[in-house]
């Protein structure tokens, strides 16, 4: 749809790729051998075909809506992102200091979270303050910010000092990413580093894509090994090589057979709505998500409701404790089959508007790259997916602009004196 590297890193490319994984190939094991798959809605495989039909129609709706809005915003005329946006990104003289300051601050905040909390499961942490809660939820975005900041600094002005600084900062980042043991955090950091180099250099090389693929595959097994060795140490107090390799193989099969089987929840909801005549929620899940997203700093007395739990309660789906939530089942729960397709079309349009606004802002490409992890994290309902993405981009942009203004204020007397 777009030209150059952005064609592979646009929100549409990311969402379409994740939709293909969650609603497509990853469901084959669950559909063929449901009894062998960990945590499955019994009987849901009977409704995989209508669930697949809804998923395909919704994916086409997202694609059509995104492209329609993009055409309306005149994104398809000539190079996009614009030459001016790319030129600012490649030259950005004032951005180098600002992004370095932002990366250092992000790394410091990550260290603070790592020392204060057990961040192996960030979404399950009960923090001491509302500010800490925001920091924990921003952990994966801060990891990408560190990676982008110092890779950008090195790419813009390659020299020994920046190379050492980049290696030290990213080397400090590595153990904290492994501490969380999240493949999405690791993958997004690696992809952000790669995209910074591609957008600075202006070309994609096959050998670099091969290297990227190797890094992502290696990262998968490294994170899997960290998670499984941690579990074995907790359960047995010891880890052998044979036991660890066996556990990695078993858990990887669970990941591929269950973790990405996004149609299972959709099929269970279809069963409840069509076979058991249970009415849709008519936007209740989306409203609860909006209210839950209000920071506790602004609403200290708010009652926190997990939107997934609200769906469980409405449809009596308590058999499976950890349903695979993605934007599609949340739309289906709220509006039924036809309504879900309409909501997903709106989802695609909003996604296009968000990226358009981000890239038109000052330092838009930097902000976009720092926020990429929130596009990769597809296991969330549609409202939270868009809100977390939009909120983090806004925070990064505000901090960058403040850092830039501070840099100019500090530099102003020197400039004045020179004149």
Q: What one-character-per-residue DSSP string does 200-269 give?
A: HHT---HHHHHHHHHHHHHHHHHHHHHHHHHHHHHHHS---HHHHHHHHHHHHHHIIIIIT-THHHHHHH
pLDDT given at position 410 = 53
Residues of the chain below pLDDT 50: 411-419
**Is residue 31, in this structure, part of any structural domain at all?**
yes
Are the C-beta atoms of residues 177 and 140 closer than 8 Å to each other? no
Domain range spanning residue 189? 6-410
Kindly report, residue by residue over 208-245, the tens digit of the pLDDT: 778 778 888 887 778 777 777 766 666 666 666 777 77
Produce one character per residue of 311-323: b if its CB has 16 or more CB atoms within 10 Å, e if not: bbebbebeebeeb
Looking up tokens 């994290």, which residue turns up?
Answer: 377
Kindly report, residue by residue over 165-195, the tens digit of the pLDDT: 888 888 888 888 877 777 788 888 888 888 8
**Is residue 416, in this structure, part of any structural domain at all?**
no
Looking up tokens 């359960």, which residue turns up?
Answer: 235
Looking at the structure of the chain, the number of domains it has is 1
**Is residue 418, in this structure, part of any structural domain at all?**
no
Are the C-beta atoms of residues 189 and 176 closer than 8 Å to each other? no
Q: State how far the Cα of 29 lies from the Cα of 379, in Å rounded to an integer.
A: 19
pTM for the whole structure:
0.84
* Helical spans, DSSP H, in 293-326: 307-315
**Is residue 158, in this structure, part of any structural domain at all?**
yes
Whether cis (ω within 30° of 0) applies to the bond prior to 219 is: no
**Is residue 355, in this structure, part of any structural domain at all?**
yes
**Is residue 48, in this structure, part of any structural domain at all?**
yes
**Is residue 282, in this structure, part of any structural domain at all?**
yes
Kindly report, residue by residue over 35-83, the tens digit of the pLDDT: 655 567 777 778 888 999 999 999 999 999 999 999 898 886 566 777 7
* DSSP-assigned letters across all residues of 114-160: HHHS-TTSGGG---SSHHHHHHHHTHHHHHHHHHHHHHHHHHHS-SH
**Residue 125 main-chain phi, psi, to 5 deg:** -80, 135
**Is residue 295, in this structure, part of any structural domain at all?**
yes
pLDDT given at position 246 = 74
């Amino acid at each position: 749809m777009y030209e150059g590297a952005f064609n592979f890193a646009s929100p549409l490319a990311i969402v379409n790729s994740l939709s293909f994984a969650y609603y497509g190939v990853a469901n084959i094991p669950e559909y063929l051998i449901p009894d062998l798959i960990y945590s499955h809605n019994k009987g849901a495989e009977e409704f995989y075909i209508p669930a697949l039909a809804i998923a395909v129609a919704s994916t086409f709706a997202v694609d059509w809506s995104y492209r329609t809005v993009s055409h309306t915003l005149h994104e398809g005329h000539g190079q996009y992102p614009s030459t001016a946006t790319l030129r600012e990104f490649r030259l950005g003289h004032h951005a180098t200091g600002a992004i370095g300051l932002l990366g250092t601050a992000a790394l410091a905040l990550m260290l603070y979270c790592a020392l204060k909390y057990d961040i192996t499961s960030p979404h399950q942490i009960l923090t001491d303050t509302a500010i800490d809660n925001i920091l924990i939820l921003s952990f994966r975005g801060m990891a990408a910010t560190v990676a982008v900041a110092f890779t950008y600094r090195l790419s813009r002005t390659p020299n020994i000092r920046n190379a050492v600084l980049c290696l030290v900062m990213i080397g400090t980042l590595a153990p904290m990413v492994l501490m969380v043991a999240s493949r999405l955090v690791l993958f997004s950091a690696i992809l952000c580093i790669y995209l910074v180099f591609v957008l600075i250099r202006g070309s994609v090389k096959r050998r670099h894509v091969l290297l990227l693929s190797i890094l992502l595959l290696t990262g998968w097994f490294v994170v899997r090994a960290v998670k499984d060795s941690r579990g074995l140490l907790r359960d047995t107090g010891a880890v052998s090589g044979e036991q660890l390799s066996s556990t990695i193989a078993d858990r990887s099969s669970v990941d591929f057979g269950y973790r990405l089987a996004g149609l299972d929840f959709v099929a269970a909801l279809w069963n409840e709505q069509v076979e058991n005549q249970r009415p849709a929620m008519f936007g209740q899940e989306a409203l609860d998500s909006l209210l839950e997203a209000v920071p506790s700093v602004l609403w200290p007395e708010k009652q926190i409701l997990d939107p997934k739990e609200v769906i469980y309660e409405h449809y009596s789906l308590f058999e499976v404790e950890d349903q695979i939530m993605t934007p599609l089942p949340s739309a289906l729960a709220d509006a039924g089959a036809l309504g879900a397709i309409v909501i997903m079309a709106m989802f695609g349009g909003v996604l296009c508007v968000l990226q358009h606004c981000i890239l038109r802002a000052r330092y838009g490409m930097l902000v976009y790259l720092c926020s990429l992890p929130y596009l990769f994290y597809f296991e969330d309902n549609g409202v939270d997916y868009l809100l977390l993405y939009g909120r983090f981009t806004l925070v990064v942009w505000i901090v960058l602009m403040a850092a830039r203004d501070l840099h100019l204020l500090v530099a102003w007397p020197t400039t004045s004196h020179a004149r």
